Structures are given as C-alpha cells and as structure tokens.
A and B are shown apart, each in its own frame.
Chain A
Amino acid sequence: MLTKFLGRRADLPLDRDSLGRYLPFLIAFMVYLAIMALMGLAVLNALTEKWDKGVAGTLSVQIAPTDTPSQDAVLLQAVLRAVRATDGVASAEPLSKGRIFALLEPWLGAVSGSEELPIPALIDVKLKPGVQIDVAALSKRVSAISPGISVDDHRVWLDQLVRLLRTIEGLAALVLALITVATVGTVVFTTRTSLAVHQGAIEVLHLIGAQDVYVAGQFAHRALVLGLKGGFLGLLLAAPTLWGIRALAEQMDSGLIPEFNMTMVHWSALVFLPIIVALIAMLTARVTVMRNLGRML
C-alpha cells in the first residue's frame, strides 16, 4: 500500500524539475542537524541526571589544616563523631591523603613531597536514602568544634551546573526550532518555484475542473516522498557520527561524562524524526499550494 502511495501517478511533471533533486539533500542536512541537536539534548539530560543523582544524599565536610598534624587528627576525630551522631547520616568516612591527591591531580599534577603539603582533610558523608538533613545546623555544630570547618552539600555547585546545562538544552531546543523553520522555509520556497515552473500545466488542470486539493495533493505527495528520502539519508549520515562520538566518549573514560545508553525513546525519536520532517514538508507544500491556488478564479 505504501509502495502504491509513494509511486502513485502524477499529472504534473514535478519529478522533472531540478528542485526535486536538491530538496532531499537539504532535508538530509536538516535532519542530520536535528539528530545532533536531539542527541545532544538527550546526553545533557543524562548528564544532569547523573550529576544530580551523584551528589544527592551526600555531603562533604572540609577541615582546614592547622600547624600541627596531631591537632588535625584530633579535629578529624571530633568532627567524625559529631557527624556520625547526626540523625539521617548513614556513614561518614575520611578520605585518605592519597585519594585527595588523586582528586587534585588533574589540576595540580603529580605532587612530590605531598605529605608536607598543607591540604584540608575531607570527610565523605552519605545520608540515609530519602533523608534530608539540616545542613545549616550541622554546619553550625561542626563550626563550633573549630572555625575552619565547613559543610558542603554541593547544592550551590550543582544548581549552577544544572542552570548551565538547562541553558544549553534550551539552545539545543532553539536549534531544533530553527531547523524546523528552515525546513518549512525551504519547502515553501521550492514549492513556490515549482508552482511557477509548472504554472501552465496547473492552469490546464484548473480549467478542466480540478479542485485545489487535487493539485495540492500532487505537490504534497512529492514533498512527502522527497522528505522521506532526505530524512532517511540524514539519518544514515548521522549514524556514523553518533557512533564516532560515542566511541570517543568511551575512550575518554571520564567520570564526568555519563555512560549514554540509547533507550526505546531515543531509538523512536531517531526513526520518527525523518518521518516527522517528511510530514512537515508534506503539510507545508500542501498549505503553500492551496494558498497560491486560492488566488486563482
């Protein structure tokens, strides 16, 4: 049935004008960009989720170093006791110096003589699932032990990061909207040009009693076929790019980049995007032709 629809007889020689040769490539380009934008959106969403999940239910307590290491150890134990005694805390473990240096290594490089470097002690606190604790109260309690102690629930950092990601997501959505507008504009332009090219034949159809929908249907059908061709060509071109990006991301092996697995929703979006673009092209062509023919007697 689809083959019959795609290959149906046309009274207008629409497949012969050069516009038909370029439109699929333009649509392929649009679909390619749209897929990149969509996948970017999906990755950003996954990233936001990962970071949100990663820091939710955790706290960091930072103890500024003093002049004497023995004093640091006493402080650490006192703070550990205070934190562990807090309701809702599942565990509180100090990070070893080696682990702290490992965390700092991307910024400071391998530090020689690191034992003598005055770095703060860090306590990694995990909260019981679903429990919210009063961070301000905890902060006040540990500050009472020593003024150089702070509690960080990462919220400020995370909120800023999420804001940034949401802005980028908004931009990606804007890119998608612009791609849609550009696709519609391209189809309107090609359809109008095609109308001008085939004006004589259209007039004949009009004068022998063809309804506007009869003529518009031929343009719409052509736009749908070209849209599908272009759409799936764009998908075909996007596939190796996506695969390449994924391979690169895997090589980076960074904890910051989430492991991105394509879900059913993603696959559906990829498959349906060319169809949606083709339907947009079809509707645009139909509306354009109907409007133009509406000016005839």
Chain B
Amino acid sequence: MLDALQRLGLASLNTLERLGRGHLFLLNVLRGIPSLFLRFGLVVHQIYSVGVLSLLIVGVAGLFVGMVLALQGYNTLVDFGAEESLGVVVALTLVRELGPVVASLLFAGRAGSALTAEIGLMKATEQLSAMEMMAVDPLHRVIAPRFLAGFIALPLLAALFSAVGVLGGYFVGVGLLGVDEGAFWSQMQDSVDLYDDVLNGVIKSIVFGFVVTWIAVFEGYDATPTSEGVGRATTRTVVHSSLAVLGLDFVLTALMFGD
C-alpha cells in the first residue's frame, strides 16, 4: 500500500520536474533568440532542413486531402441539390481545421522527430558538452536556431497545405464532378471570412508551430544520452506533440469559433 503510494508520488514528482525543466529550458531558448538575428544564416539552414524538406509531403498531403474532401462532400451535398456549396465545405474545413492540424501532425512526424534525434545524438556523442567546454552555449548556438526555424516554417507549411487543398478540391469538384466554376469560387468567397477563418487558422498554426518545436527540441535536449534513450525521446516527440496539437486544437476552436 505504502509502496504504491510512493510510486505514485515519485511519478508525479518526476512529471512535475520534467515540466519545470521544460519551461526553464524554453525561457533560456527564448532568451537566445534576439542574438540570432545577428547570425540569421544559422536559422536559414534550419529552415531548409525543417521547412523546405517538408514541402513535398505537406504539399502532396494537402492536394489529396482537398481532393478527397471534394469527392466526399460532393456525394453528400448532391443529395440536397446543394453541390454549389462544395467550395465552402472544402475551404472552411481546410482553412479552419485540417490545414493547421494535419500540417502540424505531418510536421511533428517529418521534422519534429528529426530535430529530436539530431539533438539527442549530439548529446549522446557529447558534442553539446564539447560546446560548453568552448564556452559556447549550446542552447543559443544549437537549440534556438532550430526552435525559431520550426516556429517560422510551420505557419507557412499550413498555409501551403490549405491553398493546395483548395486547388485539389477545385480540380476534383469543377474538373471531374462538374460543379459550376463561378458558384464554387463565389460561394467560397461569400462564406469564408478573412479575419474569422483565415486569420484564426494562421493563429492556430503559429501556436502549433511553437508547441511542436518546443516539444521536439526539449525531448532531444533532455534525452537519456544512449541510443535507446534517443530512440525513446524521438517516439515521445511524435506522440506528445500529436496529442498536444489535437488537444490544443479543441481548446483553440472553442475559443475562436465558440460564440
């Protein structure tokens, strides 16, 4: 009985300690960001590995999600003779929800895991300690550029996802299924609001970008410096950031579109 209580207490203390370490870590990383603008080349290289290399998967996923949305939406709407609203369905779903959420999930799998593995391996091979020996703060030199790069890349990827998805919906809806082109665009423009829908979607993706990259770099920095520890940290990154994105999405949706 006491043993069980002790285990529970230990587990809670460990979780709280990790949370605290995570927040202190974030604070230190954020403090390193202003000096990055003097050496922006570091960030550019990270944007390349985090953003440019994710372009293909995010673009293709967006195209197919938009196409499937159009196909499914058409089959439902045609029963009500409302297939002209297809543009509204596709655009609202993508801009409000699927764009930010699916792009973030893909980003966590494609870029977040790579970040964790890279930083974790740097720690395991004692590259981070070597930097400290040379009086270079690894938080400022290694972590902060990666954090800023993810934070910049994800909103752009999410916007790309939505835009490509709308085009995919357009190809299937107008090209394949014969929805009227004018109605497709005009109904979409009538119902999608620049501030309520597009801007809120962008805010969502900014929040997700912050959370996903934070989790990824922290898991890497906090990983047990063994090959097994790095593997576990990578898994945790994908699982935790996916869960965080889905949970936060509900909260943000309730705040933004609740009234």
Q: Is this pair of chains taken from one and the same complex?
A: no
